[in-house]
Structure 1
Amino acid sequence: MIKAIIFDLWETLGTKNVGISKSLQDKFGIEKSSEFMHLYETSVQLNNWSSEKEMAINFLKEFNIEHNNENEEFIINLFREGIEKATMFIGMKELLLKLKENYKLGFISNTTVFEANVLNKWYIRDLFEIKSFSWELGIKKPNKEIFDITLQKLGVKPEETVFIDDGKKNILKAREYGLNGIVFKSVEQLNDELLKFNIKI
């Protein structure tokens, strides 16, 4: 029986409407690759930065990019734009409210300490019993430890849980760890997939 539902944040609950990684690649001439995404996430999403400036400097350092005011401000403004323009997918908040009536809700997100504030902007922070942030734990998906910590805090077993993420790689790993998984494509599709698990909506 399903007792808990865990969500990813970006491109699952909502979107930034800004291609941050692509903008960084275009600006600094970085080739798109899995190595880039790994280093990008590691450089900005695994620390509780005291300031946006500190985060920007670390990104530039990790990619061996010249540290100057222009580059620093570009990064800071890009992330601010992503937060400012971020929107929740239509119908998602209503779905969360319905699910909250019968299930424990949590989420696991690879994100920065600054971007995590969209939960307040969208007025959904209190809907989640457990919030596992990469910046807070120093671990990112699909590392098994971040799933284990989340399940332990929710007080549920892997087989009692559905994990929802737009990334197929993360879903495949979650299934390896024993969780049920749904690759998110749209709110409508998610509703249909949840019904297959006999989840009350």
Structure 2
Amino acid sequence: MRPKNKIRAIIFDVGGVLSLGRYEKKAVEGHHLLGVHNFMADKLGIDLDTWFDAIDSVYAKSIEGKINRRKTLYVMAKNLKCSVSKLEKFFLLAYKKHFKKNIELYKLAHDLIKKGYRVGILSDQWYLSKDALILQKDIRGFRPVIISCDVGLRKPNPKIYRLLLKKLRLTGERVLFIDNREWNLKPARALGIKTILFEDNEQLIKALIAKGIL
């Protein structure tokens, strides 16, 4: 079935959209990620400042793919005086504890594919958050899947949105991008991409209905 409106592709962010924090503390920005870092520090028996000192040199670089997975984990493990396997195990536990799959939204995404839309992902992740939050079984049929650590770019760099359009082979007006951060939507709109600022599933569904997508 071919969609009747101009939109041909619908692209989702992951953190805060397809993957939600398990605990609601709306007054605190980024509290879910902070929860992950607190969990890791507790597991390793160190304070939060020591934790950040140990990972800061490579964590941000890894999100942009400026340092590969192996070196990222090696440096972190060395600084923290623990094994790479323990670090991986604790990180996956931390993401599982603090994030949950947005089951309703994944179902909606697969329904959109059945309706004839191209559905994809554009997300900033580092290697272990990607492993924990983006499971292959959940994204079957999604294309493209653009993850910052894989492509060497992150939002809100305009280049990552240009890469999205290039992979889709579509003009901006035919693409809808859904993200929970306004600063990630602004550069998309500058390229003509349609956007929705995600708040919750109910609000998104209403917005998709208003655009004639549902």
After TM superposition, the score normalised by the length of structure 1 is 0.77
Q: Which residue of 55, 60, 72 corresponds with 1:55?
A: 72
Shift of 1:146: 0.9
Unaligned stretches of 5+ residues in structure 1: 31-37, 61-65
Q: Is the 8 A contact 1:109 1:134 kept in 2?
A: yes
**1:135 equivalent in alignment to 2:155:** no
- The alignment partner of 2:127 has SS state of coil
Structure 2 counterpart of 1:195: 209
Shift of 1:39: 8.1
Unaligned stretches of 5+ residues in structure 2: 1-5, 23-30, 42-46, 51-55
Shift of 1:119: 2.9
| Cα distance in 2 between the residues matched to 1:193 and 1:74 | 43
Q: Is the 8 A contact 1:43 1:59 kept in 2?
A: no
Q: Which residue of 80, 85, 89 corresponds with 2:102?
A: 89
CA distance 1:77–1:137, change in 2 (3 Å) = same
Shift of 1:73: 8.4
- % same residue: 22
Q: Which amino acid aligns with 2:49?
A: G
- The alignment partner of 2:15 has SS state of coil
After TM superposition, the score normalised by the length of structure 2 is 0.73
Structure 2 counterpart of 1:35: none
Structure 2 counterpart of 1:3: 8
Deviations along 1:35-54, whole A, 9 cap, x unmatched? xxx98862331227344xx3
| Cα distance in 1 between the residues matched to 2:158 and 2:134 | 24
Shift of 1:120: 2.3
Any residues of structure 2 matched to 1:137-176 within 5 Å, and which? 137-176=151-190
Shift of 1:68: 3.4
**1:178 equivalent in alignment to 2:197:** no
Q: Is the 8 A contact 2:58 2:75 kept in 1?
A: no
Any residues of structure 2 matched to 1:43-122 within 5 Å, and which? 43-47=61-65, 49-51=68-70, 54-56=71-73, 58=75, 67-69=79-81, 76=88, 78-85=90-97, 86-101=99-114, 102-117=116-131, 118-120=133-135
Q: How many residues align?
A: 186
Q: Which amino acid aligns with 2:182?
A: K
Q: Which amino acid aligns with 2:20?
A: T
- The alignment partner of 2:106 has SS state of helix
Shift of 1:90: 3.8
| Cα distance in 2 between the residues matched to 1:50 and 1:150 | 23
- The alignment partner of 2:79 has SS state of coil
Q: Is the 8 A contact 1:4 1:104 kept in 2?
A: yes
